[in-house]
Amino acid sequence: MDQAEGLRRLHRPATKVITVASGKGGVGKTNVVANLAICLAKAGSRVMVFDADLGLGNIDILLGLTPRHNISHVLSGEKTLEQVLVRGPHDIWVLPASSGVSSMAALDAQSQSRLIDAVSSLDLPLDYLLVDCAAGISGDVLTFSRAAQDLIVVLSNEPASVADAYALIKVLSKQYGQRRFHLLPNMVRDAREGQSLFAKIVGVTDRYLDVSLDLVGSIPLDPALRAAVRAQRAVVESAPQSPAAAAFALLASRVRTWPIPKGSSGQLEFFMAQWLQAEQPAAPA
C-alpha cells in the first residue's frame, strides 16, 4: 500500500482546510489568520493554524508564543508533530514554521515523507485547518491554494497589492483551473472602500478570466490593530469592541457557513498529500 492510499484510508473527523494567501507581502495576511482562528475557536470550533511560510514564519510572534521547536525539527526526525504543536489563545493549535532556515523552501523527498507520515499519525480532531502561506506565487503557495477547499486572497488598496492579487488569481485560474476565490480587502477606510476595491478586481477578472469572486468582508484600518500587533496579541482579544475585531467576528461568522466536508474522512491528509506530491521531482521518462 503506497502513502497516498494509506492516507485515504485514515479516518478522523472531517476538517475544513482554508488557505489564506496574498499576491504581495505586507497586507496583513498573518493578522487575518490569527484573528480568524481565535474567532472560530471562540465559537466552539477546533482549530489549527499551519504557518506555511516555511522559511520565514512569524505567526507565533504575532500571538506572543515562544515555541521551542518547529516544523524543521519534525522533518529532521528530532521531534514528533505532537511535540512541536503549541497551544495558542482559546486552545487553538499552532504548527510553527522555521525562521531563517533556507532548506525549508525546497524539501527533499525524505523530508516530505517524514512530514506526511507525521500528519498521518496525528491524533487530533479538527474542524478547521487555517494555512498561512507565504506571499507571492511560489510553488508552495500555489499548491497550498489548490489543495485547500477554500482560498481567501487578502489585498490592500495599493496598486501593487491589487496587481499582485490579480496575478495570483490569474496563475491559479489559467494554469490550474481554479475558479472560486474569496477576496478580503484589508486596511481599508470603511466597507465602501472595500467594496470599491473588490469591484476593481472584478472589473478586470470579468474581462480576462473565467472565475467567480466572492467578497467575504473587509477589515478596517484600525489603531487598535496596530496596538495589538505591538502587544503580540490578536485584536479580537486585546480590543474586542474595536471596529477591526467586529470585522473579524463577521468574517468568522461567514466562514462558518461554508460547508464542512461530509463523512468521516477529512481533508487534512489530502491537503498535505497534495502539497508533498506536487513537490516531488518528476520521474525520468
pLDDT tens digit string along 87-116?
999 999 999 886 655 555 556 656 656 666
**Angle of helix 159-176 versus helix 139-147 axis, rounded to 10:** 70
Residue 285 has pLDDT above 60, yes or no: no
Question: How far apart are the C-alpha atoms of 6 and 160, rounded to whole Å?
Answer: 43
Q: Please state, rounded to an integer, the average pLDDT across all residues of the chain.
A: 83
Give the pLDDT band of residue 123 (cuts 50, 70, 90). Answer: confident
Predicted local confidence at residue 277, as pLDDT? 55
Cβ–Cβ under 8 Å, residues 21 and 172: no
Question: How far apart are the C-alpha atoms of 141 and 200, rounded to whole Å?
Answer: 24
Give the pLDDT band of residue 265 (cuts 50, 70, 90). Answer: very low
Question: How far apart are the C-alpha atoms of 70 and 209, rounded to whole Å?
Answer: 39
Residue 263 has pLDDT above 70, yes or no: no
Predicted local confidence at residue 8, as pLDDT? 39
Q: Which of 233, 276, 251, 269 lies closest to 129, judged by CA? A: 269
Which sign, positive or negative, has the C-alpha torsion 26, 27, 28, 29? negative
What amino acid occupies position 285? A
Predicted local confidence at residue 156, as pLDDT? 96
Q: Exposure string (b/e) for 108-131, b if CB count within 10 Å is 16 or more?
A: eeebbebbbbbbbebeeebbbbbb
What is this structure's pTM? 0.86
